[in-house]
């Protein structure tokens, strides 16, 4: 099933969401994303009727406000986007610059949607002053308003009236969750970026993140984490420590578009970690995992750790 997604956001788990769902419980009382981004996994969870209650949190306040508009007031954000998009005159690059400057002054989430739809590779970038500074894609003018409307209305149909929206530090969210919740964590990709990452308002401290996961374990909270990964022979991020007792699964995402353009055949693999509270139900009798892409991903147990092989 093709799911609606208004925002083509770099780092989004849009293409991986269906695969992640294979390892989650079939029914969840409340699904929580402390690093919601564009809520791609929550959209997939709602579409499969796995949960009807969601908590979407992201430190990027304009982004979480945009999500709230998309989900709760779709007509309002569609109208605003259409007006901004239609305002592109002969010099659309200058129009983008004007909208970006106004957004940096006001942090208006309605302006943010246009910037995300038009910027290079859907990649959010901030300068050292915390100002959005990503350039426009000069080859295109962003999603057509009619297509944007269909995607926004589709997301709203899945999630409207079922969400709590906050812009908190992830640790504040984790401190209040209960054993009936399920937590999906997708922190800044490297997971080792320290106090700041150009893609985010702020990075996260690795040691603090590990401590937060240890606390979830002690409280018996069920969770899954997207953390490190690799592209060909290049790795991104340091794997989470084995002392956490998590099951690490390597999921093949597919061939990198950028590598293909450069004449290289490199496969992107992302790691998914599952809490020990998930293991008895999820992994009973598990021998292999059929990836949703044309290739299949087989999970091989090697020295107590799952590794990936394609066939």
Q: What is the pLDDT of residues 58-110, one digit of tens each?
A: 999 999 999 999 999 999 999 999 999 999 977 899 999 999 999 999 999 99
Q: What is the pLDDT of residues 34-57, one digit of tens each?
A: 999 999 999 999 999 999 999 999
How far, in Å, are 123, 202, 221, 279 from residue 213 at the CA level? Answer: 28, 19, 9, 16
Asked whether residue 233 is assigned to any structural domain, the reply reads: yes
Asked whether residue 10 is assigned to any structural domain, the reply reads: yes
Asked whether residue 294 is assigned to any structural domain, the reply reads: no
Asked whether residue 296 is assigned to any structural domain, the reply reads: no
pTM of the model: 0.84
Question: Based on the structure, what is the number of domains in the chain?
Answer: 1
**Which CATH number does the domain housing residue 9 bear?**
3.40.50.150
First to last CA, the chain: 24
Contacts of 211 (CB under 8 A, 6+ apart): none
Q: Is 198 helix (H, G, I), strand (E, B) or coil?
A: coil
The highest-confidence range among 128-142, 162-176, 193-207, 217-231, by mean pLDDT, is 162-176
Q: Is 227 helix (H, G, I), strand (E, B) or coil?
A: strand
Asked whether residue 309 is assigned to any structural domain, the reply reads: no
Asked whether residue 310 is assigned to any structural domain, the reply reads: no
Asked whether residue 300 is assigned to any structural domain, the reply reads: no
Residue 248 is part of which domain span?
Answer: 1-277
Asked whether residue 113 is assigned to any structural domain, the reply reads: yes
């Amino acid at each position: 099933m093709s799911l609606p997604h208004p925002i083509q956001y770099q780092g989004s788990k849009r293409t991986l969401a269906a695969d992640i769902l294979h390892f989650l419980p079939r029914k969840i009382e409340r699904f929580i994303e402390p690093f919601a981004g564009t809520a791609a996994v929550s959209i997939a969870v709602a579409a499969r009727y796995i949960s009807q209650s969601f908590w979407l949190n992201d430190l990027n306040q304009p982004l979480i406000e945009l999500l709230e508009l998309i989900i709760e007031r779709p007509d309002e954000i569609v109208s605003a986007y259409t007006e901004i998009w239609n305002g592109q005159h002969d010099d659309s690059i200058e129009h983008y610059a004007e909208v970006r400057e106004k957004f940096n002054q006001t942090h208006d989430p309605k302006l943010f949607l246009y910037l995300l739809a038009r910027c290079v590779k859907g990649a959010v970038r901030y300068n050292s002053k915390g100002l959005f500074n990503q350039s426009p894609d000069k080859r295109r003018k962003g999603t057509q308003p009619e297509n944007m409307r269909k995607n926004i209305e589709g997301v709203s149909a899945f999630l409207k009236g079922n969400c709590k929206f906050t812009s908190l530090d992830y640790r504040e969210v984790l401190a209040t969750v209960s054993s009936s919740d399920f937590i999906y964590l997708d922190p800044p990709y490297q997971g080792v970026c320290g106090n700041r990452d150009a893609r985010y308002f702020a990075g996260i401290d690795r040691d603090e993140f590990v401590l937060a996961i240890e606390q979830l374990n002690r409280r018996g909270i069920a969770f899954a984490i997207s953390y490190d990964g690799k592209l060909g022979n290049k790795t991104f991020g340091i794997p989470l420590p084995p002392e956490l007792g998590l099951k690490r699964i390597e999921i093949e995402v597919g061939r990198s578009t950028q590598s293909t353009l450069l004449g290289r055949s490199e496969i992107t693999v992302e790691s998914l970690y599952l809490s020990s509270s998930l293991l008895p139900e999820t992994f009973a009798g598990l021998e292999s995992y059929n990836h949703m892409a044309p290739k299949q991903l087989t999970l091989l147990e090697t020295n107590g750790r799952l590794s990936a092989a394609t066939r």
